[in-house]
Chains A and B, each alone.
Chain A
């Protein structure tokens, strides 16, 4: 209950402040669904609009092609994609979030305001026109550029990829060494299978790596929520002051104070709230599509030997991850997110 009022205000401010251009589904085949921000899920059809906060999931035979203002996204099978938005450098930025699977991007033209690509382990800034991102079972990412350039950032380090170059990023680690790759040479299934084998061999390490990434989300949520709370207090105080001015000096003076002082604070508060939501949802996505799937694999691998020390150690680390998520992220989520 204690979070209800802040979250309600947060939603109100975000709703008032944002909403990016939707993406249009131009082609769909096989199993594919859209889960909207209200939590309702429905099948994907050509012509559907994917709005900010919507998640597109494809099944084993699914494929969806979308267009967002000249950016073509080819969402391959077994992929989970969310259209998100955050505030960065005083501007709203669209974010294409890939929790799992692979997507090929093609930009008809570059405007300098290209959406960021968010994977579990890193963020890619787009300078190129054609590239593919892969998001693996353990949260690893693989980025391969066909044309143009892409900047990949993780843990404060950046790698710039040129055509026919690729890089892999492990969760909680900076980008690895760049490597040369020819167009369409990467076999995503094989790469993901290697990740699965590695995860099964070292389940404890996989969870520890994810915890590092969870810490990053938690730090950002805490930082933005603290600023958001500060601005919200300021906003309430300034609103009261504006009303007082209107009462004492007249409606015109009150309106002037509102537009000069209150509105800019309301706008900034909305942007901070947007980032709280962005990092909370990114943490939820990682918890659901990476941590949850690792749990499933490890639990079923040890189901006949749950007293095994490896499983027990895995479980201890996993429970820590869940406890941190519960303590720092859940209060910023609502039922529709689940």
Chain B
């Protein structure tokens, strides 16, 4: 009986990990797909203020709209994205974006607890870092770093 309970628990843990990875993959595919389709409106609606672009805290909604529409106008695409890494944000996660008091404060003050930091890799070996919160049927984007 004891063995069965342990097995069930292990299976649940594995299932939960697989489900988190699936959600992370879905998040990066959604963002990549919207960029590739040129749907800056949807990307803007998914984005939250303030928004972190590399080391810059964007405070104006209009600027977030400009960011998405500009990269699409410039012809930027994310080809064959693969999830390289997905992590819950922690105390030092900000360092992967930029090492500054401003970015550290942004992570501490503005990101919801369940935000995930997702790294995707493209077919040209470029990487992008995204800050995404998955809540019910919606995804919210809090930050974008790259391509690097």
**Chain A interface residues (CB < 8 Å from chain B):** 31, 39, 57, 59-60, 78, 80, 288-289, 292-293, 295-297, 299-304, 306, 322, 326, 330, 333, 335, 338
Shortest Cβ gap from A168 to chain B (Å)? 23
Q: Known: A288-B57, A296-B66, A335-B105. Contact between A303 and B100, CB under 8 A?
A: no
User: Which residue in B53, B61, B74, B105 is a CB contact (below 8 Å) of A296?
Assistant: B53
**Chain B interface residues (CB < 8 Å from chain A):** 53-63, 66-67, 70-71, 74-76, 100-102, 105-106, 108-109, 147
Q: Known: A304-B75, A330-B100. Contact between A292 and B58, CB under 8 A?
A: yes
How many Å lie between the Cα of A297 and that of B73 in the bound state?
12
List chain A residues, Cβ under 8 A from B70: 296-297, 300-301, 303
Shortest Cβ gap from B101 to chain A (Å)? 5
A326 lies within 8 A of B100 (CB):
yes
How many Å lie between the Cα of A299 and that of B74 in the bound state?
11
A296 lies within 8 A of B56 (CB):
yes
List chain B residues, Cβ under 8 A from A78: 60, 62
A303 lies within 8 A of B108 (CB):
no
Q: Known: A296-B66, A300-B71, A304-B74. Contact between A59 and B61, CB under 8 A?
A: yes
B62 lies within 8 A of A292 (CB):
no
List chain A residues, Cβ under 8 A from B74: 300-304
List chain A residues, Cβ under 8 A from B57: 288, 292, 338
Q: Known: A31-B61, A303-B76, A306-B147. Contact between A338 and B55, CB under 8 A?
A: no
A-B contacts, 13 listed (Cβ < 8 Å): A31-B61, A60-B62, A296-B63, A299-B54, A300-B67, A300-B71, A301-B70, A303-B71, A304-B74, A322-B55, A326-B100, A330-B102, A338-B101
Residue of B whose beta carbon sits closest to that of A322 = B55
Contacts beyond the supplied A304-B76, A326-B101: 5 A-B pairs with Cβ under 8 Å: A78-B60, A288-B57, A299-B54, A300-B74, A338-B109
How many Å lie between the Cα of A296 and that of B71 in the bound state?
10
A338 lies within 8 A of B62 (CB):
no
How many Å lie between the Cα of A297 and that of B108 in the bound state?
26
A288 lies within 8 A of B59 (CB):
yes
Q: Known: A296-B53, A300-B71, A303-B71. Contact between A59 and B102, CB under 8 A?
A: no
List chain B residues, Cβ under 8 A from A333: 101
List chain B residues, Cβ under 8 A from A296: 53, 56, 58, 63, 66-67, 70
Shortest Cβ gap from B56 to chain A (Å)? 4
List chain A residues, Cβ under 8 A from B66: 296-297, 300
List chain B residues, Cβ under 8 A from A60: 62
Shortest Cβ gap from B135 to chain A (Å)? 21
Shortest Cβ gap from B130 to chain A (Å)? 15
User: Which residue in A299, A330, A338 is a CB contact (below 8 Å) of B106?
Assistant: A338
List chain B residues, Cβ under 8 A from A304: 74-76
How many Å lie between the Cα of A59 and that of B55 in the bound state?
23
List chain A residues, Cβ under 8 A from B71: 300, 303
List chain A residues, Cβ under 8 A from B106: 338
A39 lies within 8 A of B109 (CB):
yes
How many Å lie between the Cα of A293 and that of B70 in the bound state?
13
Most chain B CB atoms below 10 A, which of A59, A78, A296: A296
List chain A residues, Cβ under 8 A from B62: 59-60, 78
By Cβ-Cβ distance, the 9 closest A-B pairs, closest first, are A300-B70, A338-B105, A292-B56, A303-B76, A335-B105, A330-B101, A303-B74, A300-B71, A303-B71
A335 lies within 8 A of B53 (CB):
no
Residue of B whose beta carbon sits closest to that of A300 = B70
How many Å lie between the Cα of A322 and that of B61 in the bound state?
23
A338 lies within 8 A of B102 (CB):
yes
How many Å lie between the Cα of A295 and that of B102 in the bound state?
16
User: Which residue in A293, A303, A322, A326 is a CB contact (below 8 Å) of B63?
Assistant: A293
Residue of A whose beta carbon sits closest to that of B68 = A300
